[in-house]
Amino acid sequence: PKSKVAVFVGSSRPGSINRKFAKALGKLGAAKLDFQLVEVDDLPFFDPERENNVPASVQRMKEAVAASDAVLFVTPEYNRGVPAVLKNALDWGTRPWGTNVWDGKLASVTGTSPGVIGTAVAQHQMRTMLTAVGALVLGQPEVYLAYKPELIDEDGNITDEQTATFLQSYLDKLALFAGRLSVRDAQRQT
Ligand code: FNR
């Protein structure tokens, strides 16, 4: 069976290049991976006083992660940092105590920006935080995509052959580890 990937995009802008990139990755990896986009812009700001009666949006987000074999963060970079919506989702996912959904979950991080370093700084912040909450962060390949409008066509295809081949190898690796760490396997063993 295909591995389920819960995909978090750190931008809800209709024209978001990260959303476009996430969709292109989903299409490229469709033979092995089933991408499910998790919306994060309806999550309230994290508040520890609400954590024992979590909003439905938070519950939905946590269930989506729990049901997935891996999580993928496709992050923009704002002012050399991670967008607040992703940090917010990360914090909610750890609470209340004892219900941390990230613990032991395979996590991968990528992102795109028009700048030449293609969200490298934001991605590394995300990796640091994911490690801290117990996720198993896929270290390689690193994908820092310097976005050009012609790179992804209207149907969500990567137009540059070399880039597509590289991204395919990234998705293959994600699929390999997602399969090994599959939620279905974990359930079978318990
Ligand atoms: C940016 N952008 C940006 N890009 C980058 O590579 N590093 C950065 O630190 C920043 N900082 C930044 C701050 C602010 C306030 C804005 C509005 C933009 C550019 C950013 O990559 C670009 O707007 C992307 O299009 C944002 O991603 P989405 O929303 O298209 O997915």
pLDDT averaged per 10 residues, the chain (length 190): 97 96 98 98 95 94 98 98 98 96 98 97 98 98 97 97 98 97 68
Beta bridge partners of 7: 37, 72
Integer Cα distance of 33 and 174 in angstroms = 9
Closest by CA to 138, choosing from 83, 166, 176, is 176
pLDDT (0 to 100) of residue 190: 47
From 18, 113, 126, give the residue whose CB has the most ligand 1 atoms within 8 Å, as the site to mutate.
113
Say what the ipTM of the complex is: 0.99
Our answer on whether the CB atom of 83 is closer than 6 Å to any ligand 1 atom is: no
Q: What's the CA-to-centroid distance between 43 and ligand 1, angstroms?
A: 21
Question: For residue 186, what pLDDT is reported?
Answer: 64
Atom 29 (ligand 1): residue with closest C-alpha? 16
What is the pLDDT at residue 183?
A: 83
CB 124 within 8 A of CB 85: no
Choose among 48, 50, 22, 17: nearest CA to 35. 22
Question: 112 CB under 6 A from ligand 1?
Answer: no
d(CA 134, CA 46): 19
- Displacement of CA 36 from its chain's centroid (Å): 10
Task: Name the CATH superfamily for 3-189.
Answer: Flavodoxin domain (3.40.50.360)
How many other CB atoms are there within 10 angstroms of residue 70's CB atom? Answer: 26
pLDDT of res. 28 = 98
- DSSP E strands, the chain: 3-9, 33-38, 70-74, 106-113, 136-137, 144-146
Angstrom distances, CA of residue 169 to CA of 29, 35, 140, 161, 176 = 10, 17, 10, 12, 10
What residues are paired with 72 via a beta bridge? Answer: 7, 108
> What is the rounded CA–CA span in Å between residue 114 and residue 76?
10
Transcribe 144-166 into DSSP letters: EEE--GGGB-TTS-B--HHHHHH
- 80 Cβ closer than 6 Å to some ligand 1 atom: yes
Q: How far is the CA of 26 from the centre of ligand 1 (A)?
A: 22
Domain residue spans in the chain? 3-189
Return the best residue to mutate from 11, 19, 77, 123 for the ligand 1 pocket (most ligand atoms within 8 A of CB).
77
Query: What is the spatial distance between Cα 161 and Cα 30, in angstroms, rounded to a whole number?
Result: 17
> Ligand 1 within 6 A of 78 CB?
yes
* Encoded tokens for 169: 């190898």
